A and B are shown apart, each in its own frame.
Chain A
């Protein structure tokens, strides 16, 4: 019974990790790759660690696996947000078929402050779009 549950959890986890790997190769954009990394891979590794925690039914090993799981679930959104913010500042373009950019013109280029209005100092804003109509 225990080995069946462990096998099912390990299979699901490995498939999610493989899905994340296919996604990071096939996605057309840096931001979409960040999305794949922070969702599918964290879920896959979380399932693998849950399989370890069920296989060893003793307190010390299960506690260690759960600590790693909680740490991964806490740090994955933080690191994804930091790398996404940094790649927006260094000028990485969105995919050319992206339909909207919510952050357009709201980050200040020099002070790195996020503003909710776009019209106070428009020459300092980070803009990735050249014309009004086209994404490059």
Chain B
């Protein structure tokens, strides 16, 4: 079994299972803060999936997408928490 087969058939299904579990919390989450945390964790796991795909396909250009996703995850979490904090302020 080569490294690419190992990553493709074992590591990627583990990450897919993690994404399914996080998406369950994203749909269920009792408060809106739980949904924001789950969204942040979904994007962070997406960065991990992109990095594994970078090794499997040996296209290092895909890492640029991961960089933009990291930026978007941070900015969206900051913006949503700022909105939550200022929403009920008198």
By a beta-carbon cutoff of 8 Å, the part of chain A in contact with chain B is: 3, 6-7, 10-11, 13-15, 17-18, 20-22, 24-25, 30, 33-34, 37, 41-42, 44-45, 48-49, 51-52, 55-56, 60-61, 64-65, 67-68, 71-72, 75, 78-79, 82-83, 85-87, 89-90, 92, 110, 112
Contacts and interface: CB of A to CB of B under 8 A. Distances in A.
Given A18-B14, A52-B54, A75-B74, A86 B64 contact: no
Main secondary structure on chain B at its contact with chain A?
Answer: helix
Nearest to A15: B14
Interface in B10-35: 10-11, 14-15, 17-19, 21-22, 24-25, 31, 33-34
B33 A30 contact: yes
Q: How extensive is the interface on chain B, given as a class?
A: 35 or more
